[in-house]
Amino acid sequence: MRIAVVGSYGVGFTVQSARLPIAGETILGTGFTQGPGGKGSNQAVAAARLGAEVSFLTALGEDEYAAAARRLWQTERINVEAVLSIKQSHTMAAWIVVEPSGDNRIIVVPGALDYLTPAAVRGFTSQIVAADVLMTSFEIPLEAAIEALRIGRQAGTTTLLNPAPARTLPDEAWDLIDVVTPNQTEAAVLLGLDPQAVPDQASLATELARRVGRAAVMTLGGQGALLAQAGELLAVPAVPVERVVDTTGCGDAFSGALAVGLAQGRPLPDAVRLATAAGAHAASIAEVVPSLPTWDQLKGWKQ
């Protein structure tokens, strides 16, 4: 299994709090952690822990956070020879507030990721061509993500888009995507709809699947996922979790495992079931990287 990831790396500053402050208010939190993050890096780690050979392209500042990133990737055996170092900027940072329910709210400052250009992505072409699956998301400049999808399409590599943070997708980009994995809000934004007044989940998933090459997988949190392909819908139930601790890494665990399932050649329903199991595991453990599962940790899931 070979997976190429074009995406983000950043350091995450996570605060546990009983609630969010209102404007002008200061409140006391209940906990704080700092650690590696960024959707691209998290998804690369998730895929590598499930046995994939992963190549990763991102951009870092030249700071202590970049050094920590490279130590992480070495530990996880991820190929990062193409990663850019940007002297004039900082490594991406994200501030995450986690409430007692496990729900989270995130603010991202891109920093060096603003320098990840289409030209840089073209320098990653050999890795994309050699991969079974290309995975990207929108924590990088939109034109870089689209260039990665374009190269993947031209190479015949399966293209997987996790469209977060949500943006309206240019018309020419739809034909470059095999599988898209939004949540319900992201699905509405992709289609240019008001997230506060969206049609039902089935209509959103069906329309997304009609626009892309193969399928749409709408993630529904504790409800599981909805798979739309070839005019058909399949509801994939969530794997039960004894206690939800932190949902921050669930989407990245889901995406990484789905990429692995696709790279293994699994039927899409099986790949989605694998992804929901990985996402459920992530919800039961605090912080993102510690929550990304290995096969041993998914041994209860029928492979």
252 flagged as catalytic: yes
Contact 153, 176 (CB under 8 A): yes
Structure tokens at 23: 């404007």
Give the separation between CA 159 and CA 147, rounded to whole angstroms: 12
DSSP-based three-state secondary structure for 157: coil
Cα–Cα distances in Å, from 298 out to 34, 188, 275, 301? 26, 32, 10, 5
181-184-187-189 Cα dihedral, nearest 10 degrees: -140
Asked whether the beta carbons of 162 and 279 are under 8 A apart, the reply is no
Beta-bridged to residue 217, according to DSSP, are: 227
Please pick, among 178, 252, 270, 296, the residue that the annotation labels catalytic. 252
57-96 as b/e, with b when 16 or more CB fall inside 10 Å?
Answer: bbbbbebebbebbeebbeebebbbebbeebeebbbbbbeb
- What's the number of CA atoms in the CB half-sphere (13 Å) around residue 119? 2
Neighbours of 171 (CB within 10 A): 8
Instruction: Output the six-digit token pair for 8.
Output: 């983000």
Closest to 81 (Cα-Cα) out of 4, 145, 141, 147:
4
CA separation for the pair 282, 303 (Å, rounded): 18
Show which residues are catalytic.
Answer: 252
